[in-house]
Structure 1
Amino acid sequence: MRTVLAYTPPDLQEARPGVVRRRLVFFLAGYDPEARSRYRMLFVRELLLSARRFGEPAPKLGRLSEEAGGLSQVWQIAPRPEIGDAAVDYEVLHWDDLVARDGQRLRLVNIGLLVAGTLHALMIGLLWRFYRFNHRYGNVIVYPFVMVVALALVSGLIAAVVHPHLGTGFAHSLGLPLALSLPLALAIGVAWIAAIDRPLNRMFFWLLLRSWVFHWQHGQGWRPDYEARLDAFAERAAARIAEARASAEPPDEILLVGHSTGGLTAAELAARLLDRMPDLGETGPVLSLATLGSALPLVVIQPRAVRLRAQVARLVASRRLVWCDFQAPQDWMNFPGFNPVLDVDLPETGGTTANPIVRSAQFKRILTAETYAKVRNRPFRMHFQFLMANELPGEYDYFRMVLGPQYLRDRALQPIIGPEPVRTRR
């Protein structure tokens, strides 16, 4: 796997002159059952922190409103002329109800799906490819399977110890017939797992288990509920874009942002929008796509993900949008160095390679040494740094990307670096 996280496609869309004064942002969260309550709070907290840290004027945020029957949450951020910020409409498109529904399946069903998906990935060599891309993410994928095996072994051991006391193995055993003693022993062996459910949740066992199952199912074409939600996202986003373009003050840039599995979702949404709106990106606002710590490789390299590879190929060849993929070697749950142009057997793109720009978020440079030492071995904390305030100025800055005056293309190629912080600690 390549370790240099820098790639600029040869046929990249030409720069749009001027600066961004108005921006319409669509944010896609990852596989998160609590997205509806998490991302507004995270955005506000980290934006206020960033403003204080770098001595910027306090941002003015509008109230959150639920729209499209709860499909989206919307708020506005007023421009800050002192630092050149754009006026931003920020919309979070939700699919957390689908994630929550996965958690409502019987746990034995989820475990069965995990075992099937992991063994399938092992047999077809998929797991080894994940390890080559990022061995730490490979460990994250395998972790639930290893835990299931360990839990099963401990349960079997408990059942083996308990069974003689239920049947006829000891003088003071209950003397139950085998037809009763064996199932009861097995039930006792399994019951202890319920007693450690809270520690398992703190270890992200169930969430990571269901996350891998989702990505495997999607790669097999077995998630019609998710596909339907993507169509609903496309319908909603197309309507908002058409409304914004027809307004008295249309946006200069339409920015799709996807974090983690949301990077996959955002790419799929971008492909649908290009199909639905033939003039999008040709006239009017610039269309930009930012994927942050994307889980796209988890699905796109699966043999049966033919439709997704075709969509990615269209994005790669399209000069109607600019796609920038931000990666981080310090993040366990992304694939640093992955490039669909070089690492995926895509359909023919007509010889045009306009996307993606690949850049490193350089977490080690935008965090103080003290903070970096504290969080480097906390996978989820590091994974969310893509959406959090910088401690030090750097080329990657989430809030400069979504609020600042630069188009995504310019931000990736020639970023304006902000001032030194007036304080570097929380």
Structure 2
Amino acid sequence: MPLHRLVFFLGGFDPKTPRHYHRLYRAAARAHPPGPDGEQLSVGPRHSHDTLSDVWDVHWRPAQGPTLHTRYAVLRWDDIVLRHWGRGLRRVLADWQLMYLRRGALRTLARIRAAAPACFWLGNLPLGLALACMAGAGLVGAALCWALGLPPTMAAVALPAGLLLWRQLERRLDTEWLLRLYAFTCAQGEGELPDLDARLDALADALLAQARAHPAHELLVVGHSTGAIQAAAVLARALQRGPDLPRCARHLGLLTLGHCTPLLAWQPRASRFRAELARLAETADLTWWDFTAPADWAAFAQVPPWTEAGGPARCHATSPRFHQTMSEASYAALKQDRQALHLHYLRAPERPGGYDPVSFTAGPMSLAERHQALQARDRGPALPETP
């Protein structure tokens, strides 16, 4: 069965397994709005390809013409995420040490504050909540000491209550999910995650082997959230290991969704990752598109994922414009849930004609063909020459 597309997907900093992403994809395919050609979609069962990936097949059946077959592979690093997913106080304090006490992390946060202030403030929300709870408890303790005529030092007995309030509020509000993401990426930039580095090498080898074994019309790598960082690194390493990779498919594409690339690229010691981004930018066969919503405070819509312009790669950064593919009520509800908004890149739109993850990963047009059509549309019709 000839493949139209070979997809490699990397999820974000989340311990969810490929089972979760398969369920999401099947739901998106079922909810996929019908196109003008009345195409039909079917998603096959998931099976484990090896220890590094799970795969399934997607079949796009247009009203006319042959069925398009896609092989969809989820590249696994969820086990590494799980080892860094602790929510206890010891884990939180270790994450604080990474984010707020390291010189490199502080320099990165300062740059983030200037370029993407929403990301900066959301990343500091856990620290603000903790300080507010402890300060509030201290003030209550001091007020009680004053009212009861006790020594001011007795106000310290209220601090355990502040600690308890902080942990209870955090569990209810889940403010630390972005702290875990930021701290993990800071550790990656400091070179403190050798297990992740080895996994990215192994995934690059696996991608190269599958690409050589399954020639396709398009080879597409997809990364969501911090998975965009890992997707860029895996593809760059695969290109370094196998210069023949662009010839394994007619088109080579990289699709990033809700990216956090500057969180690693702006760290002083992340020179290897900056070199990998440069390698991608210098790959003439690559088309790199990014969709990041300005309303998504957990991502960097204000900064393109390649961080620097230049190079022959075809790059395009834009917003998915969720509001154009949803009802007003649905979009208003989505904006109230920051985590749901950050995950919405993987869900089908309510209305056709806009951003649609299923069309990008299973539809007839490759990223390169979409880019060519976009450029033709932007140029518009040629004006007639004046006599």
TM bucket normalised to smaller: 0.7 to 0.9
Residue identity over aligned pairs, in percent, reads 32
**More displaced, 202-211 or 290-299?**
202-211
CA distance in 2, matches of 1:36, 1:154: 43
Alignment of 1:20-419 (within 5 A): 22-51=4-33, 56=38, 58-69=40-51, 71-82=52-63, 86-104=68-86, 106-120=88-102, 124-154=106-136, 156=138, 190-193=163-166, 196=168, 199-244=169-214, 250-282=215-247, 284-339=249-304, 343-344=307-308, 352-414=311-373
In structure 1, C-alpha distance between the alignment counterparts of 2:98 and 2:229, rounded to whole Å:
23
8 Å Cα contact 1:162-1:185 kept in structure 2: no
Matching residue's letter, 2:335: R
| Residues 1:369 and 1:188: Cα distance change in structure 2 (over 3 Å) | closer
* Structure 2 unaligned residues grouped into runs of 5+: 375-387
TM-score, normalised on structure 2? 0.83
- For residues 123 and 52 of structure 1, the distance between their equivalents in structure 2, rounded to whole angstroms, comes to 46
User: C-alpha displacement at 1:155, in angstroms?
Assistant: 5.6
Residues 80-114 of structure 1: CA deviation (Å, up to 9, x unaligned): 13276620111111212222211237532432432
* 1:281 counterpart SS class: helix
Query: 2: CA distance between counterparts of 1:83 and 1:207?
Result: 46
TM-score if structure 1 supplies the norm length? 0.76
1:162/1:75 Cα in 2 relative to 1: closer, same or farther (>3 Å)? farther
- Return the alpha-carbon distance in structure 2 between the equivalents of residues 83 and 120 of structure 1: 59
Number of matched residues? Answer: 369
SS at match of 2:216: coil
Contact 2:189 2:269 (8 Å CA) reproduced: yes
Bigger relative contact order, structure 1 or 2 (CA pairs below 8 A, ≥6 apart): 1
Preserved CA contact (<8 Å) 2:232 2:277:
yes
Is the 1:118–1:142 contact (alpha carbons within 8 Å) kept by the matching residues of 2? no
Partner in structure 1 of residue 380 of structure 2: none
Partner Cα distance (1:108, 1:236) in 2? 36
Bigger shift: residues 389-398 or 225-234 = 389-398
Mapped contact 1:103–1:210 kept (Cα < 8 A)? yes
TM-superposed CA distance for 1:383, in Å, is 1.9
Which residue of structure 1 aligns with residue 385 of structure 2? none
Out of 257-266 and 81-90, give the one that drifted further: 81-90
- Kept in 1: contact 2:138–2:156 (CA 8 A): no
Shift of 1:143: 1.0
In structure 1, what is the Cα distance between the partners aligned to 2:211 and 2:248? 13
Letter in 2 for 1:363: F
Amino acid at match of 1:370: A
Q: Is the 8 A contact 2:258 2:342 kept in 1?
A: yes
> Aligned with 2:43: secondary structure?
coil
Decide which structure has greater strand share: 2
> 1:258: Cα distance to partner?
0.4
Q: CA RMSD in A?
A: 3.2
